[in-house]
């Protein structure tokens, strides 16, 4: 399969620790507007102690279906209620420091 993301596989990416250790599903995908970075979160906590950096290449190992979100535009996010639910795509809310 051709690599679907706009960043290389080794790009540092934010993951929930629960997603990385595969104890929780990805419920929030964000494509950052400022640096085009990606975040793959479990929707439980975004506190610093609950997230980790890992290469973008890990996301398709964890959940190959995330490839369908690879064309998510910067500044947008996708959320879902559970792993079998449909993604809802919307503009990401502005960061607190953007106000």
Distance CA 15, CA 26 (A): 9
* Residue 33 CA to its chain's centroid (Å): 13
Q: What is the pLDDT of residue 97?
A: 53
Q: What is the pLDDT of residue 6?
A: 87
Asked if 82 and 42 touch (Cβ cutoff 8 Å), the reply is no
Q: What is the pLDDT of residue 5?
A: 93
Distance CA 13, CA 42 (A): 14
Question: What's the pTM value of the predicted model, to 2 decimals?
Answer: 0.90
Q: Which residues of the chain have pLDDT under 50?
A: 98-99
Distance CA 10, CA 42 (A): 21
């Amino acid at each position: 399969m051709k690599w679907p993301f706009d960043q290389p596989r080794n790009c540092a990416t934010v993951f929930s620790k629960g997603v990385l250790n595969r104890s929780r599903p990805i419920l929030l995908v964000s494509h950052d507007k400022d640096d085009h970075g990606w975040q793959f979160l479990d929707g439980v906590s975004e506190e610093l102690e609950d997230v980790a950096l890992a290469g973008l290449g890990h996301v398709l190992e964890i959940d190959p279906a995330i490839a369908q979100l690879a064309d998510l535009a910067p500044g947008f996010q996708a959320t879902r209620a559970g792993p079998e639910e449909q993604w809802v795509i919307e503009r990401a809310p502005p960061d607190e420091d953007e106000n």
